[in-house]
Structure 1
Amino acid sequence: MRLCGTKTWKGLILGNSITIKGLHAGYGAVKVLSGIDLEVRSGETVALLGTNGNGKSTLIKCVMGQVRPTQGTVHATIEGVEHDLSRLSTEDIVGLGIALVPEGRRLFPKLTVEENLLLGSFRAAARAKRHESLAFCYEAFPRLKERRTQLAGSMSGGEQQMLAIGRALMTLPKILLVDEPSVGLAPILVARTIDTIAEMKQRLGLTVLMAEQNFPQAIRIADRGYVLVHGHIELSADDPQSLRDSDIVRKLYLGGD
């Protein structure tokens, strides 16, 4: 089953990508991001790395229309058509085919697993295929099928993360944003969650931007990455090895001098 992916028109590849230029953003008088330039090309998994409090989630929220930039641009190309996300509502951005797995999962704890999944299929394109998408999620995540009548709030952290990813997939996304998938999970569950993101990306032909502070896990599946420090991009690396070899990464993650 293929829910989304790259399409062609007259022999041209119509991809799904994000381009951010000169982005400044914050909360009132508090400036969080300054002069961010970032690109996620079609079909890539790009890791946005940084320790807590450096602006990763704010950048993700700018893409989703939850935080408005004070300067700069945020554009997405969806099937070859460019959209200015800074002018769109979050609902409209989701409607384009951009989905978010939020930090902390943000499930509806008093609704069942299946009810949470079905809430992901509210956009028009997804409603038409919600039964097909639900079957896909249950095939991809058998544990969710086993517990489809269980309240989401009573599940383990790892199961809740599966559900958050499944809910995002129910929107039939073309671009998937994942914000801090490792938060609150045991190390073995972090590895499984990262592997799940990689598998879904390959199976569905997604473009993925993943904000993550767990450097070793993130670069296992990333094609390339950026390191965010105090609201600035301190490093843009074209491959995982360049990230591993960086002095900035050694200082932040590996205990180097």
Structure 2
Amino acid sequence: MVAAMLSAVPVSAVIGENRQGPEISLRSYGRSGAAHSHSFAQLVLPLAGAMALEVAGRGGVLRRGTAACVVPGHRHDQEARAANRFVVVDVEAAALGDRRLEQWAGQPFLPVSPAAGHLIEYMGSLLAAGTASSGQATLWLPLLLDALQPDRPVAVVPRLAGLLAALEADPFRGWSVAEMADRAALSPRRLHALFRQDLGATPQGWLAGLRLARVQHWLTATDLSVAEIAYRAGYADQSALTRALRRQTGLTPAAYRRQERSKLRQS
């Protein structure tokens, strides 16, 4: 299903310098590389965008609402075609226990509960702002593991799949909730409930995340002015974009661009 594994590009400092505790980083994935495995366990937790992932022959799509758990020794590869952002946790198998590893081996894709989603966003914000510490990581991981729901299979909602693909393909279209509901053949109320249940966000909140992920990509990978990016992304003005990005990352667009480009030069 997946032709090639994507190389991970770290976009914030990794916290945790040894395998005694978790190593947590903020990453984006591209379109080159090869299938691989590693000696530690790994959690891949989406913040924005989507990525196809195959783990030990089982394929799925990671987007907000679905996490991936890769046990030591399991080969995996992935493919992303648009801007994306993930919190990635590397942790020694001994810190997880045999029972959890057995669950992950049989079920590498897990639903993200609203509580887990908040924890992922919290850590993502700390990493993006460069304020995360090893102590915070050590305290955060048990809370995340408790909030994830390994005993409940990932819900497959075919009626949302087409809509999500359409939103990701054209996030800057003037999507209304009514139009999204019509695209998914659902009532607006049912659409809202499904988004909350399976993705941990409202339809408009999910769409805002997709748009901001594209903005972050443009800031990092292009020389477009902030004003031009705000216009392309449909923000009322540059100030509106600045407020949205500051809420997500704690940084202004200019500061975010400087930070990400500096880290790319160092990688």
Question: TM-score, normalised on structure 1?
Answer: 0.26
Question: TM-score, normalised on structure 2?
Answer: 0.26
Bigger fraction of residues in strand: 1
Bigger fraction of residues in helix: 2
Q: Higher RCO, 1 or 2 (CA under 8 Å, sep at least 6)?
A: 1
